[in-house]
Amino acid sequence: MTKKQIFTYLMLVVGFGLAAWLLYQVFREHSFSEIIQSVRDIPAGNLALALLFAFASYLCLTGFDWCGVRYVKNDLPYPKIGLASFIALSIGQSVGMSGLSSGALRYRYYAHWGMTTEDVAKIVLLSGVTVGLGMAVLAGIVMVINPKDAAAVLRLKEEVVIAIGAGCLAATVLYVALAAFLRAPLKIRSWTFQMPTWKIALAQIVIGTINFAFVSACLREVMAVGGDVSYLKAATAFVLANVAILITHAPGGLGVLEATVRHVMGDQATIGSLVAFRVIYFFIPLFIGLPLSLIVEAVFRANKARGGAGTGRNARVAAEPA
C-alpha cells in the first residue's frame, strides 16, 4: 500500500469520524419517533417542490460534463454524457471524495466511448472549475445582498463580507476574460491544458450558478414547516455549509452540512427538514444511480462478449461502444 493510499484511507476514517460526531451533536436531543414526526410535518407540496428542484439540479450537473466534453472537442451525444454524469455524481456526492470517486466512474464510461485518459482528466478538471465558478457566483450574490447572516457565522464585519462577495463575482468575470484573451496553453508534465473558449466559460458560470440556486431552493422548501423561509438565508446557509465541507472533507458533507445549516438557520432548520434534504438530494439519487451503474456495466460486458465472439467485420461491428 502506497503512502498516497494510506493518506486517502486515513482521510476517509477521519472524515467519517467527524461526520458521526457532528451528526450526534445535531440529533442527540431527539428520539427516532420525533425525527420521523418532524419529517411528516413537512407539507407534501413542499416535498414535491424539493424533489423537483433536486431533479433540476442533477439535470444542471450533466451540463458540467457537457461543457467538459465540448472542451476536449469531442462530439459525444448528450444522452451518453448525461448517463455518465448522473451515475458518477449521484454516487460520488454521497460516498465522499467526489473528485476521485466520480472521476473513476467517468473514466470507466468515457474511456469505453473512446476518450483518452487525458481527455477524461480535463473533463473532471473543468467540471471541478464549474463547481467553483457556480459556488463563487452564488456566494458573491448572497454575501453582497445578505451580508448580515454570513457576517454572523464568519464573525466578520458586514463590510468585509460584502468585499469578499464582490471579490467572488470579480473572479468569475476575470475567468471569462482570461478565456477570451489567454490562448497560450499550460503544460503540466506531458499533459497540455488550455483555457476554454469564452462561450464555454460563460456556459460554466451560468450552468454552475443555476445548479446551486436549485439546490438552495430544494433546501428552502424542506424548511417551510415553520412558515415562510427567506431564500437568501437558505442560500447563505448552503454556501457556508459547502465552505465547511471543503475544509473538513467529510464524506458527502455528512454531519457538516446539517450542523452548518442548523447553525445559520436556527429553529427554521428542523431535524425533519435536515433529514428530508439529505434523503431527497443525496440518498434518492444514490439509490437510483447504484442499480443504474450495474445495468450499464452489464451492457458494457455483454457488448464486449459479443465483440470477442465475432470475427472480421462482424467482430468490429459488435465491438462498437454502446
In tens, the pLDDT along 277-306 reads: 988 998 889 889 989 999 998 988 888 888
Q: What is the pTM of this model?
A: 0.83
Give the distance from CA 245 to its chain's centroid.
Answer: 12
The amino acid sitting at 89 is L
Per-domain residue ranges of the chain: 43-306
pLDDT at residue 42 in the model: 87
In tens, the pLDDT along 49-95 reads: 999 999 999 999 999 999 999 999 999 999 999 999 999 988 887 77
Beta bridge partners of 191: 188
Beta bridge partners of 249: none
CA distance 306 to 318: 6
pLDDT at residue 69 in the model: 95
Long-range contact set of residues 306-314: C-beta below 8 Å, sequence gap at least 24: none
Helix (H, G, I), strand (E, B) or coil at 192: strand
The average confidence (pLDDT) of the chain is: 82
pLDDT at residue 99 in the model: 54
